[in-house]
Amino acid sequence: MTPTGSPAGTEQVRRQNTGLVLRALRAEGPATRTELARRTGLAKATVGTIVGELAIVRAVTEDDSVSPAPGRGRPGKPVTLTGESILGLGLEVNVDYVAAVALDLAGRVKVVETRPVATAGRPPSTRQLVELATDVRSSLVADGHTVVRATVAVPGLVAHDNRTVSWAPNLGWVSRELAAELEAAFDGDCPTAIDNDANCAALAEASHGAATDVRDSLYLTGTIGIGAGIVQHGQLLRGGAGFAGEVGHMPIGDPAAVCGCGRLGCWEASVGLRAMLAAVGMEEDATPLQTAVSVAERAATDEVVRAALEVLGLDLGRGLATLAAVLDPAAIVLGGYFVPLGEYIVPAAQAVLAERIPSAAIHLPEIRLSTLGIHAAALGAAEHALADVFSGAVSL
């Protein structure tokens, strides 16, 4: 890596320009070399060289089959991002499951796999994650694919180096060198990063899910804990130490509610999964999602449960109004347990948001439900794994 402040070398410039071409193809679809030069601001000769190199590694194809448009002179052949054999591997470790998603360069999902983890109340080890990761990668490599990078989504705080889990209370992990563990399992052939699960899910919603039409969005996880992933101008907002989005412990909940962190009045002590269950008087099921489905079934016939969920929606809306005032998202996406309960929670939350917006001149963010289900975090992790290719940091 070039030290900060020193001039970019030829190789670095070449990679950056390659990343520019790849991003232009991913964002706006197939284009001729001339059109790519216009999109990227690069000279046509430079685009030609890059496209030639990318075609050799089968990252792009130039289509000969497209017939020329009449009356336009010699047409260019459209360059299409294919990259079917160049993959990013996204992984997720959670309290009760591990998941893997592999994405190709064009953003197509190649593999999705989830395995339940039975821990009998003990903190999960990394064994099941490592087994899933190595199984999936081995079979992809055996099929002729290249896994360029892997990223693991973790429900907890991840250090700024994107390699160390600093604190994952629901997994019982403190200061765990998870990236190094996986890289060793991959025999040193696949650089691996770690990221927070809400960040990964936010990235997935922005690239594949409920927020693809906006550049600024906020994603909120709904499990026992509440966390946010913030996307601004299409990029994750991370903050100084990488902990931006830890919104669950903002002191905006019921001042008398005791939080898992030991404090009073945290937001997640009012709107987290356990707070919701206490409000509706029901027990936790096997997973947050199953729990929410059971509560939704009850709500369909029980007015008291519906009323309790509406109150929760109001609490949710108050917190979202605070976040919206700070971040100005175009859309807010709710994930996790909120999804099955959306029809009972979202109208109240949206109403609070409308009531709290200081001026009609301010855009009211729309509250949406995640469309990606349980694989959102692993899918976003796979996008994260490909980010180094699109930035030009990885040479194909």
Per-residue buried b or exposed e for 122-136, using 16+ beta carbons within 10 Å of the residue's own CB: eebebebbbebbeeb
Place of tokens 């430079």: 46
CA 258 to CA 264: how far, in whole Å? 5
375 forms part of the interface with Zn ion (CB under 5 A)? no
Do residues 158 and 164 lie in contact, with contact meaning Cβ atoms separated by under 8 Å? yes
Residue 262's identity, in one-letter code, is: G
Question: Rounded to the nearest whole angstrom, what is the least distance from the CB of residue 226 to Zn ion in the complex?
Answer: 9
What are the E-state strand segments in 228-336? Answer: 228-232, 235-236, 331-334
Per-residue x/- track, 148-177, Zn ion (CB under 5 A): ------------------------------
Would you say 260 and 169 are in contact if contact means Cβ atoms under 8 Å apart? yes
Output 133 or 273, the one with its CB closest to Zn ion: 273
Q: How far is the CB of 200 from Zn ion (least distance, A)?
A: 22
CB nearer to Zn ion: give 168 or 193: 168
**Between 185 and 269, CB nearer to Zn ion:** 269
Phi-psi map region of 58: left, alpha, beta (phi>0 left; psi -120 to 50 alpha): left
Q: Return the residues of window 312-331 that contact Zn ion according to CB under 5 A.
A: none
> What's the closest the beta carbon of residue 245 comes to Zn ion, in angstroms?
15
Q: In the bound complex, what is the minimum distance in angstroms from residue 120's beta carbon to Zn ion?
A: 27
Instruction: Tell me which of 13, 118, 180, 261 binds Zn ion, using CB under 5 A.
Output: 261
Distance (Å, whole) CA 145 – CA 142: 7
Q: Which x/- pattern, by CB under 5 A, does the window 193-232 give for Zn ion?
A: ----------------------------------------
**From CA 93, how far away is CA 19, in angstroms rounded?**
30
Nearer to Zn ion, 57 or 261 (CB): 261
The β-bridge relationship of strands 217-220 and 331-334 is: parallel
Residues 6+ apart with CB under 8 A from 145: 85, 86, 87, 102, 110
Cβ closer to Zn ion: 60 or 312?
A: 312
Kindly state the number of chain residues that form the binding site for Zn ion, as judged by CB under 5 A.
5
Q: Compute the least distance from the CB of residue 166 to Zn ion, in Å.
A: 16
Distance, C-alpha 299 to centroid of its chain:
30
Q: How far is residue 59's CA from residue 82's CA, in Å, rounded to a whole number?
A: 5
Q: CB 266 → Zn ion: shortest distance, Å?
A: 3
Binders of Zn ion among residues 231 to 260 (CB under 5 A) are 249, 259
Distance of alpha carbon 178 from alpha carbon 194, whole angstroms: 7
- Mark 93-104 as b/e (b = at least 16 C-beta within 10 Å): bbbebbbbbbbb
Residue 221 Cβ vs Zn ion, minimum distance, rounded to whole Å: 15
Amino acid occupying residue 226:
I
- CA nearest to 92, candidates 100, 102, 82: 100
DSSP per residue, 212-258: TT-SSEEEE--SSS--EEEEETTEE---SSS-TT--TTSS-S-TTPB
For Zn ion, which is the closer residue by CB, 118 or 261?
261
Smallest distance, Å, CB 272 to Zn ion?
9
Residue 340 C-beta: closest distance to Zn ion, Å? 24
Residue 266 within binding range of Zn ion, rule CB under 5 A: yes
Residues of this chain that bind Zn ion (CB under 5 A): 249, 259, 261, 263, 266
